[in-house]
Amino acid sequence: MHWQGVIRHYGRFFTFVPDEAVITLLEGNTPLIPAPALARRIAPGTELYLKYEGLNPTGSFKDRGMTMAVSKAKADGSDSVICASTGNTSASAAAYAARAGMKAFVLIPEGKIALGKLSQAMIHGAQVLQVLGNFDDALSLVKEVSSKYPVTLVNSLNPYRIEGQKSAAFEIVDALGDAPDYHILPVGNAGNITAYWAGYKEYRAAGKSKRLPAMLGWQAEGAAPIVRGAPVAKPETVATAIRIGNPASWKQAEAARDESGGLIRMVSDAEILEAYKMVAETEGIFCEPASAASIAGVIKLGTERFFQAGQRLVCTLTGHGLKDPDNAIAQSVAPVTIPPVLGDVLRILGF
Ligand code: F0G
């Protein structure tokens, strides 16, 4: 059957939304791609899968939550949404609001979001405010505005965002027939690790799986408040999507870690960029730097001999690499410029 989006497919696990209020771009149903070559390099003997969330309609996992948050806002009579964002949430909010005929207001840290994401918010007609501060400053502002004025907050503090994002865990269990041994993902504002863990638990309670994965979350070294146990006032990382110093779902992320017997650790920018190139070159999959924090985490644990042969690992690749062309170009070999002459082509190709 034609895919109908996460609400129509998994709606029985979500708060009820009347069908006529459903705002969907047919998000979800993303591929769970086996990555045997990458597994041989970084975690030999394991079965490694990549949940490629970059293939959602706006290029990130945020669409799973945004369909629920915007549909519910619409159903409840709201005419506008607001969010703080490192880029992907704003892109998704702008697109879903456009489709709903609602206004979107987005607050982003000035100069610190990837160009593709900024272009998305702009083309969908959102009112974009660049804050001379970081994501955490922007989040404080939108919390205040939405608590006092008639506009719906669509950051992951909105419980419907988390509900929709659970669908990724459902899809993984549906694809594998059970939960994996480990689920590995980047952690920024910590909504996604919260959502996956809720999804895995709910699906098992519904008899859809026999077991639960251990959740392995990864922060960037310069933006690792959960790992360090204290907010980071000036978070910095090349992975701008997770450049967050005081995550909204901090406690829920710790609960996911502890209940699942998992961990939340950190990787350096150099490790993130190495993983970013490796997954692109080894498996032909282009993700954004923040997404590669999950791969960097597997590399780190692989060198510590953390995994055992036969174990199943799922890494979420949270966003598409095309979101952030600047980083891709900066990390790659520059094109060679030549005159339109056959001899030059042959010389350079080595024929
Ligand atoms: N990966 C990407 C590509 C993201 O955009 C985000 C979060 C994360 C990972 C972390 O997920 O916040 O649920 O822990 N981006 C938010 C945004 C903050 O505004 O787009 P999280």
**What pLDDT is stored for residue 320 in this prediction?**
98
> Which of 83, 142, 189 is the pocket-test mutation for ligand 1 (most atoms within 8 Å of CB)?
189
In this predicted model, what pLDDT tens digit does every residue of 194-227 receive, in sequence order? 999 999 999 999 999 999 999 999 999 999 999 9
Give how far Cα 111 sits from Cα of 87, 145, 210, 269, Å: 11, 23, 46, 18
- Residue of the CA atom closest to atom 6 of ligand 1: 241
**What pLDDT is stored for residue 1 in this prediction?**
75
**What number does the ligand 1 atom closest to the CA of 194 have?**
13
**What pLDDT is stored for residue 323 in this prediction?**
98
**What number does the ligand 1 atom closest to the CA of 187 have?**
14
- Residue of the CA atom closest to atom 15 of ligand 1: 241
Average pLDDT estimate for 226-238: 98
- Inter-residue contact 108 to 131 (CB < 8 Å): yes
Give how far Cα 258 sits from Cα of 251, 262, 264, Å: 10, 6, 9
- Inter-residue contact 239 to 276 (CB < 8 Å): no
Percentage of the residues of the chain whose pLDDT score is greater than 90: 100
Q: 189 alpha carbon to ligand 1 midpoint, in Å?
A: 6
Q: Is the pLDDT score of 334 beyond 80?
A: yes
DSSP symbols for 30-49:
--EEE-HHHHHHHSTTSEEE
Cα separation of 128 and 263, whole Å? Answer: 36
Percentage of the residues of the chain whose pLDDT score is greater than 70: 100
Q: Is the pLDDT score of 296 beyond 90?
A: yes
**What number does the ligand 1 atom closest to the CA of 117 have?**
20
Q: 162 alpha carbon to ligand 1 midpoint, in Å?
A: 12
**What number does the ligand 1 atom closest to the CA of 60 have?**
3
**What pLDDT is stored for residue 77 in this prediction?**
97
In this predicted model, what pLDDT tens digit does every residue of 245-262 receive, in sequence order? 999 999 999 999 999 999
The mean pLDDT value of the chain amounts to: 98
Q: 308 alpha carbon to ligand 1 midpoint, in Å?
A: 29
Dihedral-angle region of residue 119 (phi above 0 means left; psi in -120 to 50 means alpha; beta otherwise): alpha
**9, two tokens:** 């497919």
Q: Is the pLDDT score of 71 beyond 80?
A: yes
Residues in the ligand 1 pocket, defined by CB under 6 Å: 60, 62, 85-89, 156, 186-192, 241-242, 288, 290-291, 318-319
- Inter-residue contact 263 to 170 (CB < 8 Å): no
> Which of 318, 320, 323, 324 is the pocket-test mutation for ligand 1 (most atoms within 8 Å of CB)?
318
- Inter-residue contact 240 to 111 (CB < 8 Å): no
Q: 43 alpha carbon to ligand 1 midpoint, in Å?
A: 25
**267, two tokens:** 């990787």
Residues 6+ apart with CB under 8 A from 101: none
In this predicted model, what pLDDT tens digit does every residue of 149-178 receive, in sequence order? 999 999 999 999 999 999 999 999 999 999
pTM as predicted: 0.97
**Angle at Cα 40 formed by Cα 37 and Cα 45, nearest 5°?**
125
Q: Is the pLDDT score of 74 beyond 90?
A: yes
**305, two tokens:** 């001999």
**What number does the ligand 1 atom closest to the CA of 89 have?**
20
